[in-house]
Structure 1
Amino acid sequence: MRIENSFIPVHGVGEATERRLWEHGITHWEEFDGSVVGSTLADRIESFIEEGWTYLDRGDVSPFAESLPAASRWRLYENVRQETCFLDIETTGLDARRNDVTTVSLHRGGETKTFVNGRDLTADRLTAELEPASLLVTFNGQRFDVPFLETCFDLEVAVPHVDLMYPCKKLGLDGGLKAIERDLGIERDMPDITGRDAVRLWHEYERGDDGSLETLVEYNRADTRNMEPLMEIVADRLHEQVFEAACRRD
């Protein structure tokens, strides 16, 4: 599903109205003709579409991210799949005012990069890595990863953001990232490690154990890489559940 199939970013259009448009064959912006809804709302939708094309021509999905509910931002993915950056961080605790970020992994275009505290993890480096991205994907990053980075590195992450935890809940997929991976059959190349293990590995590295850092980095990279197949599955399932199901109705 693409942004051009969506009408709920328009003020006054909820899921029921959007579904009614789809059921009447108006499944794409180009098919909107002002029917089905009242004249005031039709004018609003037409203005939204005209402005929306301008943003899409620039590859800018940020206005749609701001107006879509968190559980519906998966709709942005198809438009900017190749420019999507998956991100995950490890920390020494849960409080950004007292704890540190230890590693940050970013996965984009089939390549995963990891930055380590005390080596190459800096605000400038993070800014440079995130700047080319059209979309940021995390798991629980809206409440944790992004605000943690912003606090610890005094930066603003302005990239449009899909937190996979919310569309997963929409599909009835509850629990943490690894539990959802198991439910969906997404495999990992390494044994399961907990967040507590990640803290322990970092402290072991600080005491001189480079092997512990290697394990921590691979754990962080696995979390980040596995979000890509999860995003694909979530987008496909919600496309079927939300869009295709409505379009098939007589």
Structure 2
Amino acid sequence: MLQHTFCHISGLGAKTEKKLWEAGIHNWGQISCSTAVRLSPTSRADLAQTLEESLTALENNPKYFTKKLASTESWRIFNQFRDQSAYIDIETTGLSDDAEITTIAVYDGKKIMHYIQGHNLDDFVRDIRRYKVLISYSGTGFDLPVIERYFKIKLDHAHIDLRYVLASLGIRGGLKGCEKQIGIDRGDLDGINGCFAITLWRAYQLQGDQAALQTLVAYNIEDSVNLERLMVEAYNRKLLATPFAAEMSLPSPKLPVLPFQADRDCIRRLGGGQ
């Protein structure tokens, strides 16, 4: 989809992009020599340089595009850079500025990685450098700035925040609400939320409750794994507004085998899922 995209060119918006598609101009090579659609002086002046930079960035620089695209249009980079992407979610001790990260889950479409405070949390900083794109839900306002503050690092990745992409499709209501709208069932974790995740961590910290830790990590991992399903669904729905849906739509991803399962007795004992 990325090579069919023109709205990252200065002064060229969605309406003009649609006119280009309708005129049969479907890729960067075709627009450079076409006069079928009148472009603004700003767009015409920026065209050659942007296309040259775009071809270079197409190899390994997804951030070039996300810096130029609106947050609702960041989905366009997904298929091009899917194999360099990581779905990320964190759990914390709260929402205050001094809140600590308790667990992090990262999924790259093949491998699940989890990080736990007091065990291997610092390994995250090394591992996340393997990827060029981070995919989150509300990561712009929470996950990414918390990670940067906590580890004192800068995440120099391209970022797709599904909150904005899904909202532009009319899918809202938090991560769990969005999941329900596209038919994702969390099973034993249904009804568990971020507040209960804090309860689980406290039970582990204060009482050494291993079942609580297992349930917390299972919950965290579920968040990250489900992001892939949301991403693919958003990508396919966005394609419906383009001429390319029939040829470029993606199949639903296969669910990985999850390394942890929620403990029902623990959830009931701690008052979760109600």
Same fold, judged at TM 0.5 (above)? yes
* Aligned residue in 1 for 2:79: 78
RMSD of aligned Cα (Å): 1.5
Q: Identify which range, 34-43 or 145-154, moves more after superposition.
A: 34-43
Aligned pairs (5 A) from 1:55-70: 55-57=57-59, 59-70=60-71
Q: Output the CA distance in 2 between the equivalents of 1:45 and 1:151.
A: 38
8 Å Cα contact 2:2/2:76 also seen in 1: yes
8 Å Cα contact 2:12/2:39 also seen in 1: no
8 Å Cα contact 2:137/2:175 also seen in 1: yes
- Gap runs ≥5 in structure 2: 246-274
* Aligned residue in 2 for 1:225: 225
Kindly indicate whether structure 1 or structure 2 has the higher relative contact order, using CA contacts under 8 Å at least 6 residues apart.
1
Residue identity opposite 2:145 in structure 1: P
Could you say what secondary structure the match of 1:88 adopts?
Answer: strand
- Gap runs ≥5 in structure 1: 246-250
168, 171, 178: which is aligned to 1:170? 168
Q: Output the CA distance in 2 between the equivalents of 1:194 and 1:39.
A: 48
8 Å Cα contact 2:103/2:117 also seen in 1: yes
* Aligned residue in 1 for 2:95: 94
Q: Output the CA distance in 1 between the equivalents of 2:130 and 2:151.
A: 19
Deviation per residue, 1:15-57 (Å, 9 max, x gap): 1111111111111112112411348433422221112111113
Could you say what secondary structure the match of 1:109 adopts?
Answer: coil
Residue identity opposite 1:91 in structure 2: T
* Aligned residue in 1 for 2:134: 136
Residue identity opposite 1:50 in structure 2: E
* Aligned residue in 2 for 1:211: 211
Shift of 1:118: 1.2
8 Å Cα contact 1:34/1:42 also seen in 2: no
Q: Output the CA distance in 2 between the equivalents of 1:109 and 1:172.
A: 26
Q: Output the CA distance in 2 between the equivalents of 1:191 and 1:138.
A: 19
8 Å Cα contact 1:83/1:109 also seen in 2: no
* Aligned residue in 2 for 1:148: 146
